[in-house]
Amino acid sequence: MIIEPKVAGNVCLNAHPTGALRLVEELIDFAKKQPKIAGPKRVLVIGASAGYGLATRIINTYVNDATTIGVSFERAGSADKVGAVGWYNNLAFSKLAKADGKQEMTLSGDAFSQACKDEVIATAKELFKGEKIDLVVYSLASPMRTAPDGITYKSVLKPTGQPYTGKTVNIFNAQVSEVTIEPASEEEAKNTVKVMGGEDWILWIEALKAHDLLAAGAITMAYSYIGPEMTYPLYREGTIGKAKEHLEQSVGELNSLLASLNGKAYVSVNKAVMTRASSVIPVVPLYMAILYKLMKAKGTHEGTIEQAYRLMDRLYNHDTVLVDDVGRIRLDDWEMDRALQKEIELAWNNLDLSRVREETDLEGIRKEFMQIHGFEVDGVDYSQEVDPSRID
Ligand code: NAI
């Protein structure tokens, strides 16, 4: 079939297999060009099919020559139905990594379930042949979680306490509108913590430890975000921020769990990048359009793959891991640079709503959004028929 993008709001409902393959190829090409790092050799990435998880997997595979297990939950394609982009990314990664002689195993399942944990444990025992895991990356972004109590919790993107009114942009028609979002109920806030907090991360580490699968000195890591004050009411002080606080606080319990192995848990606070998870957060795309424009002009702009490399460098290339006063790795250091943030604030406050395309990098984030779904990727002939059950 010929696949054209189906977009609703800031969500893309389908994906292009050939474009996904090309994009994974580009990420791998970047990784191949980086100086090697004597990093972990056996790596588990939970949430490996897209965004930060995929980039971390690629860097570990190509920069440290690690064997990886990647877990994700993505809709498969079939002869008459287009799959989710993450499903194509997985096929692309497996194909390209195998062709390069890399060892990997890609599993599909609900990472929150015990069944998925059991499958990963069985796979790790077989694939790593008695050797243990050095690095566990927890990179899930999910709207819901069925917890061990059998209840399905849903996460929401809402402020807490007060309603929030702010600017948001439709990345396709450049229309900026004011949105008002009512505050979450206490239950919604608690449920968001259940989904996106650290509870399941701890369950993973407990399960891997119980099966003696973690190496001496093993590291586990999850990703967080803080961002600028203009997004605080909705992000950091909103329901998702509460979940991120919980995730960050889980590091204490994880460090106790890992202490006997001399292991360590970290949260890395990453830069805002365009992914399926970030495009749907109101306010954030407009902030990102300004951020991208200014960071590109300064030459400090990074995508997921550049961030993943810098993270591995921070973790494995230095005698001590650089952290902030509460122990977090700050890969958002360039984004949060004071002078840059002042410029962003000025641009945000003075934005001429009739000139959004000129004054921001809206086109850059729109294109990136299309590309992470396999569309508008250079060198792909979109008029060609493709079989959505595979990648070529
Ligand atoms: P993404 O949407 O690109 O990737 C999410 C991954 O989670 C996918 O591999 C998906 O298959 C997997 N997943 C979701 N539910 C699952 C389930 N039940 N079982 C197994 N896998 C499941 O998202 P992105 O942006 O890469 O987010 C990853 C982490 O990075 C999140 O914790 C996010 O908050 C964090 N982060 C993202 C930033 C951004 O700007 N995108 C900035 C800083 C942190």
In the reported structure, the alpha carbon of residue 71 is separated from the centroid of ligand 1 by a whole-number distance in angstroms of 12
Question: Could you report the per-residue pLDDT of 284-321, keeping only the tens digit for each?
Answer: 899 999 999 999 999 999 999 999 999 999 999 999 99
Closest CA to 239 of 159, 140, 166, 144: 159
In the reported structure, the alpha carbon of residue 276 is separated from the centroid of ligand 1 by a whole-number distance in angstroms of 8
Ligand 1 interacting residues, C-beta cut-off 6 A: 47-53, 71-74, 86, 110-112, 139-142, 223-225, 270, 272-273, 275-278
Q: Would you put residue 12 in left (φ > 0), alpha (ψ -120 to 50) or beta? A: beta
In the reported structure, the alpha carbon of residue 384 is separated from the centroid of ligand 1 by a whole-number distance in angstroms of 31
**Among 12, 46, 52, which is best to mutate for testing ligand 1, by the most ligand atoms less than 8 A from CB?**
52
d(CA 318, CA 181): 44
Stated pTM of the model: 0.97
Estimate to the nearest angstrom the gap between the alpha carbon of 370 and the chain centroid.
Answer: 16
* Alpha helix ranges (H) inside the chain: 17-32, 51-63, 85-99, 114-127, 186-196, 199-210, 239-258, 276-279, 284-298, 304-316, 338-349, 356-359, 362-371
Average pLDDT, the chain: 96
What is the atom index within ligand 1 of the atom nearest the CA of 140? 7
Question: Mean pLDDT, to the nearest integer, of 30-52?
Answer: 97
Residue type, 184: A
Question: Mean pLDDT, to the nearest integer, of 191-197?
Answer: 98
Question: Could you report the per-residue pLDDT of 140-155, keeping only the tens digit for each?
Answer: 999 999 999 999 999 9
CATH among 3.40.50.10420, 3.40.50.720, 3.10.180.10, 3.40.50.300 for 7-371: 3.40.50.720
Q: 328: pLDDT confidence band, cut at 50, 70 and 90?
A: very high
Q: pLDDT value at position 203?
A: 98
d(CA 206, CA 201): 9
Token duo for residue 166 = 């702010």
Q: pLDDT value at position 278?
A: 87
Residue 153 is a catalytic residue: no
Annotated binding residue at 140? yes
Tell me: pLDDT of 168 over 90. no
Q: pLDDT value at position 276?
A: 87
Residue 225 DSSP symbol: -
Question: Could you report the per-residue pLDDT of 372-385, keeping only the tens digit for each?
Answer: 999 999 999 999 99
